[in-house]
Structure 1
Amino acid sequence: MDNSDINKGWRKEKSSNSLNEVFSSIKIPENASSWKKFMAYVGPGLLVAVGYMDPGNWATDIAGGAQFGYTLLSVILISNLFAIVLQHLSVKLGIVAERDLAQACKDHFSPGVNFVLWIFCEIAIAACDLAEVIGSAIALNLLFGIPLSVGVVITVIDVFLILFLQSRGFRYIESIVGGLIFVIFSAFLYEIILSQPAIFPMLEGLIPKKEIITNPSMLYIAIGILGATVMPHNLYLHSSIVQTRNYPRTTEGKKEALKFASLDSSLSLMLAFFINAAILIISAATFHTSGNKDVADINDAYMLLSPLLGTTLASIFFGIALLASGQNSTLTGTLAGQIVMEGFLNIRLKPWVRRLITRLIAIIPALIISMLYGEKGTAELLVFSQVILSMQLSFAVVPLVMFTGSKAKMGKFVNKMWLKVLAWTISAIIIILNLYLLKETIF
């Protein structure tokens, strides 16, 4: 089976992507060991994992741990397993069909449907960017005393940071992201050692409980965790950046690329699971057990960590990790926005223009809320942004499951029956939970 066999299932040639035109030069060594080949594929998974540990996750995980202890650990675990499956499908679409999800949607759906999907995806990216803006502004406020409104405006500067990094090449971006993830990981490993969580209640929290569904307050945060964990724009992003590897475009070449790229994705997401779970565990061990169950935002957590854990380093490490998280998410949000606009609309904007538009959309509500309502308002806006992300998720997941389950589009690489059932089950769970949330929110 060659590329022409797969391309028969698509109505037209894929549109070009400026990102892959610039960065698709990372050569995969042909006769090297499996380890060296795998290391050549490492990178895109880390960029995707960033979206699973952004400031939006912090807000939902802190609130969940403080209010309900370790109970919602099971939601983080299940969400992460969902993410591993969906990102694998995203990798498969990119490697086999050599299309990102936006390009695939443009090929398959009518212009009207594509426009709606593009709008929903832009809303998701704006919601994600809103979380990054608020998270970075809060970190600047906590570490350096910079007012929230000023911190929100300062986040515009990252436009120039993005331009600089993109000019250096894709491997440079991946290295920076990997370094920042290491900072976040180290900070939370230190926090977990300080907080000394109870092992057995923590393990028990990994088992799902009925009350997560029956308790409306718990369900709201659980869906927020789902939205903060499985990011819709990451499905578009991963299907594109996985193509930055210059692997042989043959059946065997694609099989090998799919194996190594999926391993990169799964291992990176397990790292993201540790960080997400660590935030909730620290919140449960420090706040819930000490009776501070009303801690629902990053500011409160920062202020209470040092007194409760007995060292000022606890809060400082927390703030540094938050700042690293916000900057990391900024990088991937920019790339995702570029991919989505080009894939759906075939409109090419200069990266700094695209980034500035997205950031200004996020800055306006963040600036208004921070000026009018201060810390409490920005914290609530942060959690709400994650619920918005969750609501948009179905519009990315369903097309992805459709395309990778199509024999005509994927040839021999089509999802096996067990994977089709699993993928559609995950889609159904996401849709049902979001419909329930919508009903509860409206009525």
Structure 2
Amino acid sequence: MDTRREGWLHAGGEVSLSDVHRSIPVKKHASKLRRALAFFGPGYLVAVGYMDPGNWATSLAGGSRFGYTLLVVALVSNIMAIVLQSLCARLAVASGRDLAQACRDAFPRPVALVLWLLAEIAIIATDIAEVIGTAIGLNLIFGIPLEIGVIITALDVFLILYLQRLGFRWLEAFVIVLLGVIAVCFAIQIGLADPDWGDVIRGFAPTIEIVTNPDMLYLALGILGATVMPHNLYLHSAIVQTRAYGETFAERREALRFATIDSTMALMFALLVNASILILAAAAFHTTGRTEIAELGEAHNLLAPLLGIAIAPTLFGVALLCCGINSTVTATLAGQVVMEGFLHIRLAPWLRRLITRGIAIIPAAGVTIFYGDSGTAQLLILTQVVLSLQLSFAVLPLVLFTADRRKMGKLVAPRWLTAFAFLIGIVIAGLNAKLLLDLIV
């Protein structure tokens, strides 16, 4: 038995995502650059979750209502994400487990079941955001009614199955190409919006008003929930193990270093996209007095007259559709990881996808039919706050596992990193408590 099985209550022997586990070779005698490039990809699948349609809604609402003030929240959230995702890679490489397997192996079954349920709620909240975002993207580009677009999103399972059949590298390439399209679309729109870059830079400075203003705190937590997403912690700890990096301490240490570099670079790219959404909203809407923009469709319709060019709304719609499709791919993988890891139940990817998408379609379709665009905007923001409330239940186990030398061996997290991650967990829990108190009062 693998010596890394020590220190756990249970000793599960299954591997994470068995159909693609260690399927991408890391050649021992290749140059360091080629070995590093072998780890290029998983970070970008994780980064997708940090720029999904739910993030768009919170960033649009935050930028239009409060200008550039909440840019600091996007920055701090991204720093938190970099730290936590590095711990996910460390857990995977050191223990050979993903976070869901680790929770099942380390905790009594009732505790593991509660954590599984919370993880599933987070994935459903993510899926609701993707359903709505993709449907709005289809509506903006092709004029498809939202109600029909919501139903069409169920067909994305066939795209995912096709990409998985080609190989995991093809899945990563597909995601990265769409990320490139999103980046180009926003670069053009930011150029057209011509923001005040002095105000943009000042927006990255912290202000106490974010905590003392309940409305601002609600949106700040929405941005936090949309940035540091619970399902990404489970996903990253699984897809790192698609690389065949070897078993010696030197090989695993190198794998951890390259995986951390990959996720850090990808998350910095995600920060640029997230900041671009908020900057676009602040420059196009807040400065013109339109401070209540939260609906993606409304933002799309206003971009042409405000920016003075007809292509701006099309770029917005294309980027939104790409975000929705990309997020669908990663949420499907995360759902597979969570179900297999916590429950040791394997479902065919198409069946797992149809179940989660079916659960997400019901509230999304209901809100779309009865409340229209305004309802979908509120639902999008609510899903991101739900994600933020679920986050502590994924962060705390992750920090505890990676700080335990019995479980991690020589790759145990250094004390400063554990302390920093623990502080992040406390901040997240404290802000969530403050939000709940404000909502109750």
User: Scaled by the length of structure 1, what TM-score is found?
Assistant: 0.98
Q: Could you list the per-position Cα deviations for residues 78-113 of structure 1 after superposition, in whole angstroms to 9, with x for gaps in the alignment?
A: 000000000000000011101000000001101100
Please list every run of 5 or more consecutive structure 2 residues that lacks an aligned counterpart in the other structure: none
Residue in structure 2 matched with residue 12 of structure 1 by the alignment? 10
User: How many angstroms apart in 1 are the aligned matches of 2:374 and 2:98?
Assistant: 39
Q: 2:351 aligns with which of 342, 353, 358?
A: 353
Residue in structure 2 matched with residue 387 of structure 1 by the alignment? 385
- Residue pairs, 1:407-422, within 5 angstroms: 407-422=405-420
Residue in structure 1 matched with residue 72 of structure 2 by the alignment? 74
- What amino acid maps onto 1:420 in structure 2? T
Alignment check: 8 A CA contact 1:17 1:342 kept: no
User: 1:22 aligns to what SS in structure 2?
Assistant: coil
Q: CA deviation at 1:330?
A: 0.3
User: How many angstroms apart in 2 are the aligned matches of 1:45 and 1:14?
Assistant: 26
Residue in structure 2 matched with residue 303 of structure 1 by the alignment? 301
Alignment check: 8 A CA contact 2:89 2:236 kept: yes
Q: CA deviation at 1:15?
A: 4.1
- What amino acid maps onto 2:384 in structure 1? Q
User: 1:51 aligns to what SS in structure 2?
Assistant: helix
Alignment check: 8 A CA contact 2:16 2:98 kept: no
Residue in structure 2 matched with residue 176 of structure 1 by the alignment? 174
Question: Taking every aligned residue pair, what percent have the same amino acid on both sides?
Answer: 55
- Residue pairs, 1:122-141, within 5 angstroms: 122-141=120-139
RMSD: 1.1
Q: 1:366 aligns with which of 364, 367, 379?
A: 364
User: Scaled by the length of structure 2, what TM-score is found?
Assistant: 0.98
Q: CA deviation at 1:22?
A: 3.1
Alignment check: 8 A CA contact 1:74 1:205 kept: yes
- Residue pairs, 1:27-426, within 5 angstroms: 27-426=25-424
- What amino acid maps onto 1:320 in structure 2? V
User: How many angstroms apart in 2 are the aligned matches of 1:29 and 1:189?
Assistant: 37
Q: Could you list the per-position Cα deviations for residues 406-443 of structure 1 after superposition, in whole angstroms to 9, with x for gaps in the alignment?
A: 11111221111111110110000000111111122223
Alignment check: 8 A CA contact 2:284 2:307 kept: yes
Q: Could you list the per-position Cα deviations for residues 373-412 of structure 1 after superposition, in whole angstroms to 9, with x for gaps in the alignment?
A: 1111111101101001111000100000000011111122
- What amino acid maps onto 2:259 in structure 1? A
User: How many angstroms apart in 2 are the aligned matches of 1:19 and 1:219?
Assistant: 37
Alignment check: 8 A CA contact 2:16 2:241 kept: no
Q: CA deviation at 1:11?
A: 3.2
Alignment check: 8 A CA contact 2:218 2:435 kept: yes
Alignment check: 8 A CA contact 1:17 1:339 kept: no
- What amino acid maps onto 2:209 in structure 1? E
Q: Could you list the per-position Cα deviations for residues 65-89 of structure 1 after superposition, in whole angstroms to 9, with x for gaps in the alignment?
A: 0011100000000000000000000
User: 2:421 aligns to what SS in structure 1?
Assistant: helix
Q: CA deviation at 1:12?
A: 3.3
- What amino acid maps onto 1:357 in structure 2? I
User: 2:20 aligns to what SS in structure 1?
Assistant: helix
User: How many angstroms apart in 2 are the aligned matches of 1:151 and 1:345?
Assistant: 33
User: How many angstroms apart in 2 are the aligned matches of 1:79 and 1:263?
Assistant: 18
User: How many angstroms apart in 1 are the aligned matches of 2:10 and 2:344?
Assistant: 14
- What amino acid maps onto 2:25 in structure 1? K
Alignment check: 8 A CA contact 1:149 1:370 kept: yes
Please list every run of 5 or more consecutive structure 1 residues that lacks an aligned counterpart in the other structure: none
- What amino acid maps onto 2:109 in structure 1? P
Q: CA deviation at 1:21?
A: 3.9
Alignment check: 8 A CA contact 2:98 2:234 kept: yes
Q: CA deviation at 1:162?
A: 1.2
Q: Could you list the per-position Cα deviations for residues 2-31 of structure 1 after superposition, in whole angstroms to 9, with x for gaps in the alignment?
A: 951x32222333342462343422110212
User: 2:409 aligns to what SS in structure 1?
Assistant: helix
Alignment check: 8 A CA contact 2:136 2:297 kept: yes
Q: Could you list the per-position Cα deviations for residues 264-300 of structure 1 after superposition, in whole angstroms to 9, with x for gaps in the alignment?
A: 0000000000000000001111111111112122111
- What amino acid maps onto 1:286 in structure 2? A
User: 1:289 aligns to what SS in structure 2?
Assistant: helix
User: 2:381 aligns to what SS in structure 1?
Assistant: helix
- What amino acid maps onto 2:88 in structure 1? S
User: How many angstroms apart in 2 are the aligned matches of 1:243 and 1:333?
Assistant: 17
User: 1:19 aligns to what SS in structure 2?
Assistant: coil
